[in-house]
Amino acid sequence: MKTIGFIGVGIMGKSMVRNLMKAGFTLHIYARTRAKVEDVIDEGALFYEDIGSCVEDCDAVITIVGYPEDVEEVYLAEGNIFERARAGAYCIDMTTSSPNLAKQLYAKGKALGLHVLDAPVTGGDVGAKNGTLSILVGGEEEDFKACLPLFKAMGTNIQYEGKAGNGQHTKMVNQIMIAANLSGVCEALSYARKKELDLDAVLAAVSSGAAGSRQLELLGSKILAGDLNPGFFVKHFVKDMRLAAEEAEESGLKLDILLQVLKHYQALETDGWGDLGTQALIKHYEE
Amino acid sequence: MKTIGFIGVGIMGKSMVRNLMKAGFTLHIYARTRAKVEDVIDEGALFYEDIGSCVEDCDAVITIVGYPEDVEEVYLAEGNIFERARAGAYCIDMTTSSPNLAKQLYAKGKALGLHVLDAPVTGGDVGAKNGTLSILVGGEEEDFKACLPLFKAMGTNIQYEGKAGNGQHTKMVNQIMIAANLSGVCEALSYARKKELDLDAVLAAVSSGAAGSRQLELLGSKILAGDLNPGFFVKHFVKDMRLAAEEAEESGLKLDILLQVLKHYQALETDGWGDLGTQALIKHYEE
């Protein structure tokens, strides 16, 4: 495996492209606006003006775009990946997207002789930059194994989760926990602030104990500093939670906490805060 | 400071008594049923048949009982601590209890010449046993400093949180986060189970990333194994969350997630599961 087509060269995508080139792969990239990816072109990525040309000679195609609709578009629209990728190519969708869509793409790809994997990630922009992403993979196990060199260029915690769709399901598990944990952080810190506690002393007391969480580590001090800049966007988290809620409902599960947190975030988005970081949930409690 | 009266020699209390004796303190203990504390009597604790006699010659008194009503009883009822402790003694309530009650006890104690601290703990039975509790202390700072040798015998993360009641407020902060985090664990694992994922692979994928939490570490595998034995009782967690919810409401804060989780736990208690461990919340999602 030598040549990779990469669709979705955003903040995370750019870091992933760089790490793949560093590992020796040749990168074909597509972007709607060439000016936004000049830096990685300068570093050696080959630019294409349409998705079909970008992917047609590649051994593998990686996609990491915004919403399930975008995933559908890049794979299924006329002239795009499923029309132009060569038989035997690996198609890896790393977008956090619908498990059902992942299953459909797997089946359609298989009929075309393509090896489709769903491989959403966790670890955010920092993990992408440092090549320390967690990568949650669903699909055929031998396809997973064939793509390991590529995954290892981008991540450190690379997990095979079973059949097509299971990478996405595992990501849903992850987001369900984050939704609750981050709510807990916001509720607890708004309590601490309201009771006029010494916030540094409170964090020192609780961070390392039974209340500790990665969300508290990552976002607790940002919340206290009033820094709502995005590590992870409110609008993307809304998408993830919506997918998880739909999937849960489809299975007859009522995840009350997830639904409540989703409501809070949807209200934030409606109020125009979709481009803030997820820690903006504190606004629900303090405004 | 040499002699300590200890009220509340339960599972945690016993470990704390042992660690205090190990550090060289002389322990006077009281328990309703002598038979239940014979082991620590054998190890050197001096047994008293009533609270007043237990505490009257002590330099410090430690209490760790069940509910705020029990705290009121041991401090304020006829013949108990505030009547019999000698002037200048330190009175340290380590129960998770009401911040308002802590403030009242501080004021009443002060009028009697007693040094009252609220010092709830986190770290559970294991932390108590290993002397690695977190201890969250409210009251006068010089009283806190005077009691440090005693705290250090029982814990490792010892934090002064400010005026009387602030130890309890900090514990509320801790419990608010735990309530959300544990809900997230239960919702996410019930989703994973319903979607028939490989649960070990899921835990491997999500535990070390952004969804990670101490609750997941402590209770995730217990939940998957169906082990609902108590580390921390449902009934005590209900008490803590109820206190936190009352305090929040008093300050005009609406902590939706906390209130929802509290409802789930109250339903468990009503169904007769108060003596299970807090991970029994999984029943809400799977039964």
Q: Cα(B45)–Cα(B58) distance, rounded to whole angstroms?
A: 13
- Closest Cβ opposite residue B260 in set A170, A206, A257: A257
- Residue B38 has a pLDDT of 97
Q: Which one-letter amino acid corresponds to residue A264?
A: H
Q: Which of B144, B195, B223, B256 to mutate to test the interface with A (most CBs of A within 10 A)?
A: B195
Q: Which one-letter amino acid corresponds to residue B121?
A: V
* Extended strands (E) in B31-107: 46-48, 60-63, 90-93
Give per-residue pLDDT as tens, B234-247: 999 999 999 999 99
Average pLDDT over residues A78-87: 98
Q: Which one-letter amino acid corresponds to residue B92?
A: I
* Position B98 pLDDT exceeds 90: yes
Among residues of chain A, what percentage have pLDDT more than 90?
A: 97
Give per-residue pLDDT as tens, A152-175: 999 999 999 999 999 999 999 999
SS3 B57: coil
Q: How confident is the model at residue B124 (pLDDT cuts 50, 70, 90)?
A: confident
Q: Is the distance from CB of B55 to CB of B84 less than 8 angstroms?
A: yes
Average pLDDT over residues A220-245: 96
Decide the pairing of beta strands A60-63 and B3-7. Answer: unpaired
Q: How confident is the model at residue A222 (pLDDT cuts 50, 70, 90)?
A: very high
By annotation, the residues of A acting in catalysis are: 171
- Which residues on A lie below 8 Å from B253 (Cβ)? 190-191, 194, 285
Q: Which of B160, B183, B260, B284 to mutate to test the interface with A (most CBs of A within 10 A)?
A: B183
Average pLDDT over residues B145-158: 98
Give per-residue pLDDT as tens, A240-267: 999 999 999 999 999 999 999 999 999 9
B171 is catalytic: yes
Q: Does A105 touch chain B (CB under 8 A)?
A: no
- Closest Cβ opposite residue A208 in set B157, B170, B215: B157
* Position B162 pLDDT exceeds 90: yes
Average pLDDT over residues A121-136: 93
Q: Is pTM beyond 0.90 here? A: yes
- Residue A287 has a pLDDT of 78
Contact call for A191 and B257, based on CB within 8 A: no
In angstroms, the separation between the Cα of residue A253 and the nearest Cα of chain B is: 7
Give per-residue pLDDT as tens, B105-116: 999 999 999 999
Give per-residue pLDDT as tens, A56-76: 999 999 999 999 999 999 999
* Position B80 pLDDT exceeds 90: yes
Q: Cα(B139)–Cα(A251) distance, rounded to whole angstroms?
A: 51
Decide the pairing of beta strands B60-63 and B121-122. Answer: unpaired
* Position A124 pLDDT exceeds 90: no
* Position A125 pLDDT exceeds 90: no
- Residue A277 has a pLDDT of 97
Q: How confident is the model at residue A275 (pLDDT cuts 50, 70, 90)?
A: very high
Q: How confident is the model at residue B251 (pLDDT cuts 50, 70, 90)?
A: very high
Q: How confident is the model at residue B151 (pLDDT cuts 50, 70, 90)?
A: very high
* Position B145 pLDDT exceeds 90: yes
Q: What angle do CA B134, B135, B139 make, to 5 degrees?
A: 160
Measured between CA atoms, the residue of chain B closest to residue A256 is: B260
Contact call for B213 and A183, based on CB within 8 A: no
> What mean pLDDT value characterizes chain A?
97
- Residue B287 has a pLDDT of 79
